[in-house]
Amino acid sequence: MQLFTMPIHSSSMLSLLVLLLQILLPTALNHGYNRSEVPALIVFGDSIVDPGNNNILTTLVKCNFPPYGRDFLQHKPTGRFSNGKIPSDMIASALGIKELLPAYLDPQLKPQELLTGVSFASSGAGYDNLTAQIMSVLSLWDQLELFKEYIEKLKAITGEERAARIVSHSIYIVIIGTDDLANTYFGTTLRRAHYNVASYADFLVGSASSFYQELYKLGARKIGISGLPPIGCVPAQRTLAGGIYRDCEASYNQAAINFNLKLSKAVEVLNTELSGSTMVYIDIYTSFLNLIQRPFDYGFMETSTGCCGTGKLEVAIFCNDLNPYTCTDVSKYVFWDSYHPTEKAYKIIIDRIFNDYVHRLI
């Protein structure tokens, strides 16, 4: 049997290639995130997502010195409370926005960085303004004032129309509240004299709802709101309240669970009340507890102490390069210091958050 073949001219080949691209390209894009849909990532919160705003504040709650940043780019301590990257960096990278999310107060911040987002987070902050006052850091409402300033800077750079689009189409992530319970409520008597655990949670959720309403008024529409982790299992809390065996403090964890339940219900209400908004409650309690209860599944061997120093109480200025007990193999640890996870632990949790929640914000 003789086959008849027709020569394909270069112009015909080019047309065929264009046709194939028209068919295949949309399919390929559907497997990733369209960068134009999410112009920027804006973050508010505490030390989990503070890339260095506290560096310029007069506070002891900072970490711009070794061994923090030991596994960061060029082994540089930047003010991130970990050995490497933190969740805000990982989310920005996964969205295809940029590899690192800078601190808004970084003196070296370039104006063009504002177009793709920044973090206003301040280590030691909480929904309760008293929490920030105790630590001499930026309150959540201080962070909101900085966001207003940010919007004006955007307008000056891009004009009002494009600035408004960036604000309304960006994704907002808020991770805060752990310090309210762990430090302000359980760590002092300042709030316990006026609130029991349940009423303090109500107070915090009321403050949270007010904040999200104000953020909405400023133009934010896509907001991911994180709940609290199992704070009773944080190494410092094990040491302070876990008894001789340094067990997870069950009552602290229960307080976090109760707060999370109330916050998630408040987020549902806000979604119905604020037209055009998409507010997503993010459960980090479950994935975090899973790391602690099943560490070997993820290659971890130590969950009750941090890598830095003895890992039982060291954090901030007490986690320093003079401590001879800091571990050499951080990959085996869930926690970097007595309060904050390692980059590896963060990555596992953020991957799960991305799979479960982020698609709802895009």
Active site positions, annotated: 47, 337, 340
Q: CA of 230: how far to CAs of 177, 179, 199, 233, 345, in Å? A: 12, 12, 19, 6, 14
The residue behind tokens 């390209």 is: 25
Distance CA 121, CA 247 (A): 30
Distance CA 283, CA 270 (A): 17
Distance CA 358, CA 362 (A): 7
**Beta bridge pairs of residue 308:** none
Helix (H, G, I), strand (E, B) or coil at 249: coil
CB 63 within 8 Å of CB 46: no
Distance CA 85, CA 252 (A): 27
CB 175 within 8 Å of CB 140: no
Nearest to 212 by CA among 169, 176, 178: 176
**Beta bridge pairs of residue 333:** 302
Distance CA 63, CA 86 (A): 13
Distance CA 96, CA 362 (A): 12
